[in-house]
Amino acid sequence: MTTTQTHPSPLGTQLAFRHTPGSGPAVVFLPGYMSDMAGGKATAVFDHCIARGRECLLLDYSGCGESDGNFADGTLGIWRDEVLALIAAQVSSERVVVAGSSMGGWLMLLVGLELGQRLAGLVGIAAAPDFSDWGFDENQKAGLRNGETIYEDSDYGYDPMPTHAKFWQDAETRKLLGGAIDLHCPVRLLHGQEDSDVPPDTSLRLAAALESEDVQVTLVKGGDHRLSREGDIDLLLRTVDSVVEM
């Protein structure tokens, strides 16, 4: 079935997801902060997998999209566990390729670290690990430490964009770039050179931190944070294919 379904999260929240059966490795797409499975990249990957007879899973984190819950209650830890629960319950393929956009690129690393032998590869799109650190100034961090919600201007339809203290405080415990990341699968990282939200250097730092010997970074000239132009989407689909077919 490719219609939206629901599944209980580990905390009991009903999570919305779409799943198409097919050959493996299965592709699991993780959207960015305050994004959902209706986004252009997610739907392009899903439709591409359907056309190729490949298993694919999309989902909305609790508090996002069609899932139940309050966004203010969400954290990387909670959302990681939701992704893992849906993979365990819905994905039949033994092996999984996880693709993540922006915050979803941080989440894909946290998920990958828990998947063990099921992990076949990773595809990051403007992956943003550790943005709780480099994405905020000291005044903002002080407010978040004190339990405040901070708001920032946004170009993505959420104006202003909130960051809740619960999310930030949890994220600070899950930073990865300060040491080696114990992942050894093929990794492909796509990043727009004109990305004003996540510095392209972030993907280079991530590539250096990963223990895998098979890591490639592609910098896209003229690409912004969304990487949603037709050519960007084509590149994403080709990249997913290349990892799945290894």
* Catalytic residue list contains 154: no
Largest Cα–Cα distance in the chain? 50
To the query of whether residue 225 is one of the catalytic residues in this protein, the response is yes
| Alpha carbons 179 and 162: distance in angstroms, whole number | 29
- Residues found in the chain: 246
Cβ-contact 23, 93 below 8 angstroms = yes
Task: Give the torsion through C-alpha atoms of 205, 211, 216, 218, to 10 deg.
Answer: -20
Residue type, 233: I
Residue 128 class from Cβ within 10 Å (0-12 exposed, 13-18 middle, 19+ buried)?
buried
**Cα–Cα distance for residue pair 24/4, rounded to 1 Å:** 21
**CB within 8 A of 75, min separation 6: which ones?**
166, 167, 170, 171
Active-site residue (options: 60, 130, 195, 197): 195
Catalytic residue, from 132, 203, 225, 232: name it: 225
Is 241 buried (19+), middle (13-18) or exposed (0-12) by CB count in 10 A?
Answer: middle
Helix 165-172 vs helix 76-90: crossing angle, to nearest 10: 80
Whether the Cβ atoms of residue 192 and residue 222 lie closer than 8 Å to each other: yes
- Of residues 62, 102, 132, 203, which has the active-site annotation? 102
102 is catalytic: yes
User: Which residues are catalytically annotated?
Assistant: 102, 195, 225
